[in-house]
Amino acid sequence: MSDLASQLASVSKQFEHDLGSVLTTDDLEALRIKYLGRKSAFQELLRSLKDMTVEERKTAGVMANELKRHIADSIDRKGNSLERARFDAMATEERVDLSLPGIASPRGHLHMVTQAIREIEVIYERLGFTRVRCPEVDWEWYAFETLRIGPDHPARDNWETFFLDVPADPKKGHMILTPHTTNGDVREMERGQLPIRTMNINKTYRRQSDVSHVPMFHQFEGLLVDRGITIAHLKGLSDHFAKEFFGSEREIRLRPHHFRFTEPSFEVDISCGLCLGKGCRMCKDGWVELGGAGMLHPDVLRAGGVDPDEYTALAFGWGVERSLSMRAGLRVPDLRIMYGNDMRFLEQF
């Protein structure tokens, strides 16, 4: 019995010595394992109790439990002390001077295409055009049928247009992602509010991707319906936009073309801003097509509920990205760069 008491006293003395050298929580955990772990010397002493008499075991057990509680309590107090010291050090070492000016968060800006859309909107607002938004997902009826684009037309092919896998309407046909903003022309005429002077700027979708095409792009569709509208108005609007958006030195040309929904029809070209009309990878011959234009076909007016004997109309649809790429000094050799998320490029605009 006296031998066990001597061993417990020795363990207690050694523990106090080891506790004094603890500096970190890792040291403290190692100390706990050393004295309270299953394989510690203290546990070996407790196993010797089985060899004592009942009376000796009671007395020795009390002594052993008191030492165990003392060790556990001492370890807890030391842990609390180390934690307080850690927070005290943080208050000094990680102190933040709130009087110092903060670091400003980086500020973004509008995408170059969004900036162009807003400029285009302002140009036509000054001419009395009202901005409208027509559906990006629409029926074949508005995108094709009302525009005299029959079922056998190449534009109705799956390789040209994105069709949606939804049930077709008996009259309006299948649903599609609009390949052009002209789908909004008949919709505007159906409102029955004449005359019409609207600008539909929206996303359009085609299965094309090269230096001058992207699968999703923006178009702005001008629609003017009134009495006495002629090609002279169309030429005047085209000239005005070219001078306002591209600069007074740029030139446009109306090139005869065929569109099912206009008669007569034109493609509007502008002198290339990349090569200044000399011919390059983008333009090939010095001119770049901005889009189509023309006088709305009488059948289209009738589809919108407008009498072609009383009213005439013009329409034009140009690509925003392509128009933007042709601005003087911009020199964008590939339209796909605009949507490549390369910050080195986008932050310049």
Contact of 134 with 181, CB cutoff 8 Å: yes
Q: Which two tokens stand for residue 128?
A: 């009395």
CA distance 203 to 218: 4
State mean pLDDT over 252-270. 92
Q: At what angle do helices 25-36 and 2-20 cross, to 10 degrees?
A: 170
Question: Could you tell me which residues come within 8 angstroms of residue 349 by beta carbon, excluding any fewer than 6 positions away?
Answer: 112, 115
**Each residue of 266-321: pLDDT tens digit?**
999 888 767 767 788 767 788 878 789 999 999 999 999 999 999 999 999 988 99
> Which residue type does 340 have?
G
- Does the pTM exceed 0.95? no
**Each residue of 98-130: pLDDT tens digit?**
787 878 888 888 999 999 999 999 999 999 999
Contact of 28 with 79, CB cutoff 8 Å: yes
Pick from 219, 236, 233, 223: nearest CA to 196: 223
CA distance 178 to 142: 9
In this predicted structure, what is the pLDDT of residue 1? Answer: 52
Alpha carbon 225 to chain centroid distance? 37
Contact of 202 with 189, CB cutoff 8 Å: no
188-200 burial, b for 16+ CB within 10 Å, e for fewer? bbeeeeeebebbb
CA distance 146 to 315: 14
In this predicted structure, what is the pLDDT of residue 57? Answer: 66
**Each residue of 159-206: pLDDT tens digit?**
789 999 999 999 999 999 999 999 999 999 999 999 999 999 999 998
Pick from 38, 36, 44, 37: nearest CA to 67: 36
In this predicted structure, what is the pLDDT of residue 83? Answer: 86
